[in-house]
Structure 1
Amino acid sequence: MSSSETTQVCSLPLPPVQYITHYTDDNIRRGRAPRPPPPIHDSYTMFGNTFNADDPIIRPLEAQGIKRLYPQHFDRRRELRKLNHSLLVNFLDLLDLLVRCPESPKRAEKVEDLSLLFIHIHHLLNEFRPHQARETLRVMMDLQRRQRIEIAQRFQKHLDKVIEMLQLALQNLPDTSDFDSKLIVPTESYETMDTSNQDTANSDTYAVLDEIMCNIADQL
């Protein structure tokens, strides 16, 4: 590469589609999909600033070399209101200074004061990020819970309707008790045969059997 050529490096990551194209089913099956980045254990650089992996998510102002304008224990709402008022007053002072004496060295001091106030406001707002993340997660979980309850209720309604339809179909079935009773063979005659004299003639036995068969035929 010649000295006249410059390397262009994007400060932001590429769009997700640049990564999705590498994670096809064929690449994943053959092991060609890019591996996820390894976890960072020491330090890393983001947007030109160096961060340590052990640092808290929201670093205190003292760790960033910034003078704190409010005490350690404070009411965030009250301090944000005070910072907002101070920001407005300093901005009006800067405007007045620019009108009266634009070349005054106090102009740089007012700009530094405004920058410091903006940093404090930004820091206080960032301290609400964990609370915002928890609330967002709570809302998402509550929405999922209500959706699952609604799906379960709809499923129960469909189940009750199916059970009702089955019960109605069973009630509308024809009664087969009369038809089944016609196929029942009366056993009284057999009991009579068992209790009768075993020495009865074969002709009497055949007569009883013929009578039973005739009764069955009549019932059919």
Structure 2
Amino acid sequence: MIHRHATVRTHQDASAAWLFFKRWLANPLSMASITPSAPSLSRLMAEQITRGPDEVVVEFGGGTGSVTRAILEAGVPADKLYTVERDPELADYLRRHYPGIHVLEGDVADIRAMLPDDLKGKVGTVLVCLPMILIPAEDQGRIVDAIFDIMPPGRAFYSYTYSARSPVKRRALSLKGRRVGFTIANIPPASVWRFWRE
């Protein structure tokens, strides 16, 4: 017997994969992969979250919601999740399929302007679901500076990569970083990195 919930989830996953592939065709460098993150990678990212009761989580690059779903399933309330997505079609998809979350449409480097003023300094964790390794060092710097401006001192952000090396230029950006997880079940296999400033 096939449950209706499983059928709906399968249909949603198929439509998400098709939309993701279409957006990849339109702009391959901004997507990096032709498929959304696998559940194993999404869970690995969500497991890194640190959040106090009055803090929110920010996700960079919501896409079709693979990591978004894992964040919610990890127990983060929908109203405590802010997802940034630059692509209007993907942003609209997130609003329709993940009601209750805050979808911010724009460039992640502008997060300080997009996030409500009362939440600056109350971002527990930032999960970066972007191909950082393909982003020039200067633009990486703008993104990283914006991340640390919205988090309390001493916090870290997380980013995944399909490469064997760090997705972020640590030395140039005065960052400390280490690999905190790896999954072979993703296509392609992926690592999750933690980055912080002393």
Give the TM-score of the pair, scaled to structure 1.
0.14
Higher relative strand content: 2
Give the TM-score of the pair, scaled to structure 2.
0.16
Higher relative helix content: 1
